[in-house]
């Protein structure tokens, strides 16, 4: 067998093989699982976007390489326009302040490859989307965990980062609204991040994948609105969760043109951009489709059932303002993997153990509100009932 490149050794082992095994077993036995696992919208992409794709795919102009510098022009212009309408940002698409990316995951990963050298520190949230730390490590860097703790509203405490670490740090990832904690950030926090980054010469990457998944009138701010933010960083947006387009693979990175140049440089040697018909349909979405409000109200129904249901079992969870997730602290008797196993085996309910997102995720499990096809929340309610009847919660 050929040996993998050594950099793949820095990918952590999949800790939850046991849960995956139990899931496969339950499915093979024909058990009825209610799946709160992966955060992949279960509702379809809005029909007008699909129709725009069909039309664009019939135009031979979209069948060739996109040889532009920054991405399909109608798309990056639409992205700039969207940022102006949504956040009041002025971003010049003709000057490389907005670039097209093949979904935010691609951009988050390649950013580490563009900026992290062996020996560099990369500041990553913990718990957090694992792509940040895995790619920083594969690029030869050292991920440094910024704990997201309940007592700090799941915001990193920048004053707790030792000055030696801050000095060696090259890149910082942050993500609000946050996966997995569902926390939101204030404009004041973003201003603090921008000034910390300026003082320590750190590039900031704000992952805004969930900026449009919010409830009850909450509107997430942009990092780029903070004073000085555009001097130190970028923000990565995705159409995946906003328009139920996870399979389409499109998003954009916006902000500091120098930082984006590094990302573009690596991308131009790795990919040849997204299918232009997808970029064309995505431009249409940004200009003419106001998110997926019906999907948000479905998530909100499910969120209410999960939060009210767990609270009736002894939790005291707040109603989350944003994201697809409910981050649930556990009774002290369980580790996150044990609790996930108990829910799966006794109630047929699948959740993700918090440890999967980093060591500070221990003591929690994540419920994703993307339960397949459950428009009215009946399956979510059934999951709560099954937990009530089959799982003993000891506080």
Ligand X SMILES: Cc1ncc(COP(=O)(O)O)c(C=O)c1O
Q: Do residues 111 and 265 make contact, with C-beta atoms less than 8 angstroms apart? A: no
Interface with ligand X, residue 111, by CB under 6 A: no
Q: Does 45 bind ligand X (CB under 6 A)?
A: no
- Binding marks (x or -) toward ligand X, 59..98, rule CB under 6 A? ----------------------------------------
Nearer to ligand X, 179 or 336 (CB): 179
Q: Site for ligand X (CB under 6 A): which residue of 179, 222, 356, 368?
A: 179
Residue listed under structure tokens 């249901």: 309
Q: Which of 99, 155, 193, 209 binds ligand X (CB under 6 A)?
A: 209
The one among 45, 62, 80, 104 contacting ligand X by CB under 6 A: 104
Q: Which residue has the tokens 């800790």?
A: 15
Q: How far apart are the first and last CA of the chain?
A: 50
In our burial notation (b when 16+ CB lie closer than 10 A, e otherwise), range 9-24 reads: ebeeeeebeebeebbe
Residue 244 gets the label, from left (phi > 0), alpha (psi -120 to 50) or beta, of left
Residues 41, 127, 251, 358: which binds ligand X (CB under 6 A)? 251
Total interface residues for ligand X by CB under 6 A: 13
Question: What are the C-alpha distances in Å from 17 to residues 9, 22, 32, 264?
Answer: 18, 9, 20, 36
The residue within the footprint of ligand X, chosen from 181, 214, 222, 240 (CB under 6 A), is 240
Q: Is 246 in the site for ligand X (CB under 6 A)?
A: yes
- Give least dist CB 306 to ligand X, A: 18
Q: Would the CA dihedral through 136, 137, 142, 147 be positive or negative?
A: positive
206 binds ligand X (CB under 6 A): no
Determine the Cα–Cα distance for residues 43 and 39; give it in Å rounded to an integer.
12
Rounded to 5°, the CA angle 276-277-283 comes to 85
Tell the residue number behind the tokens 């030869």, with chain if given: 140
Half-sphere exposure of 211 (CA within 13 A, CB side): 21
Q: Between 14 and 227, whose beta carbon lies closer to ligand X?
A: 14
Cβ neighbors of 20 (< 8 A, separation 6 or more) are 14
Q: Which of 177, 165, 175, 159 is nearest to 141 (CA)?
A: 165
Q: Applying CB under 6 A, which part among 103-111, 227-235, 274-282, 374-382 lies near ligand X?
A: 103-111
CB of 110 to ligand X, least distance (A): 12
Q: Which is nearer to ligand X, 255 or 348 (CB)?
A: 255
Provide the minimum distance between the beta carbon of 180 and ligand X in the complex, in angstroms, as a whole number: 8
Q: Of 131-170, which residues contact ligand X (CB under 6 A)?
A: none
Q: How far is the CB of 102 from ligand X (least distance, A)?
A: 8
Determine if 175 is a binding residue for ligand X (CB under 6 A): yes
Q: Does 274 contact ligand X by CB under 6 A? A: no
Binding site for ligand X (CB under 6 A): 39, 103-105, 129, 175, 179, 207, 209, 238, 240, 246, 251
């Amino acid at each position: 067998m050929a040996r993998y490149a050594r950099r793949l050794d820095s990918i952590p082992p999949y800790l939850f093989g046991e849960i995956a095994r139990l899931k496969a077993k339950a499915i093979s036995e024909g058990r009825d699982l209610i799946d709160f696992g992966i955060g992949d919208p279960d509702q379809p992409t809005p029909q007008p976007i699909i129709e725009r794709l069909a039309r664009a795919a019939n135009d031979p102009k979209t069948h060739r390489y996109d040889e532009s510098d920054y991405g399909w022009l109608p798309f990056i212009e639409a992205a700039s326009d969207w940022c102006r309408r949504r956040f009041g940002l002025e971003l010049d698409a003709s000057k490389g302040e907005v670039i097209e990316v093949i979904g935010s995951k691609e951009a988050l990963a390649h950013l580490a490859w563009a900026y992290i050298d062996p020996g560099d520190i990369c500041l990553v949230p913990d718990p957090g989307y694992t792509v940040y730390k895995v790619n920083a490590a594969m690029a030869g860097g050292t991920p440094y965990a910024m704990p997201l703790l309940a007592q700090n509203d799941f915001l990193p405490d920048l004053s707790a980062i030792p000055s030696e670490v801050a000095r060696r740090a090259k890149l910082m990832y942050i993500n609000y609204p946050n996966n997995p904690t569902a926390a939101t950030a204030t404009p004041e926090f973003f201003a603090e991040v921008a000034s910390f980054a300026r003082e320590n010469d750190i590039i900031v990457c704000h992952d805004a994948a969930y900026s449009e998944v919010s409830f009850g009138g909450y509107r997430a701010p942009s990092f780029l609105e903070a004073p000085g933010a555009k001097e130190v960083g970028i923000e990565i947006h995705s159409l995946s969760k906003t328009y139920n387009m996870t399979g389409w693979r499109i998003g954009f990175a916006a902000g500091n043109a120098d930082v984006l140049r590094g990302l573009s440089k690596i991308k131009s040697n790795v990919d040849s951009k997204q299918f232009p018909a997808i970029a064309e349909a995505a431009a249409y979405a940004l200009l003419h489709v106001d998110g997926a409000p019906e999907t948000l109200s479905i998530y909100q129904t499910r969120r209410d059932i999960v939060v009210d249901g767990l609270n009736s079992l002894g939790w005291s969870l707040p109603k989350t303002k944003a994201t697809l997730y409910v981050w649930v602290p556990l009774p002290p008797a369980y580790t996150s993997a044990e609790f996930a196993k108990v829910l799966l085996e006794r109630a047929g309910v699948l959740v993700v153990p918090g440890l999967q997102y980093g060591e500070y995720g221990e003591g929690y499990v994540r419920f994703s509100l993307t339960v397949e096809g459950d428009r009215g929340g009946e399956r979510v309610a059934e999951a709560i009932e099954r937990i009530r009847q089959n799982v003993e919660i000891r506080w």
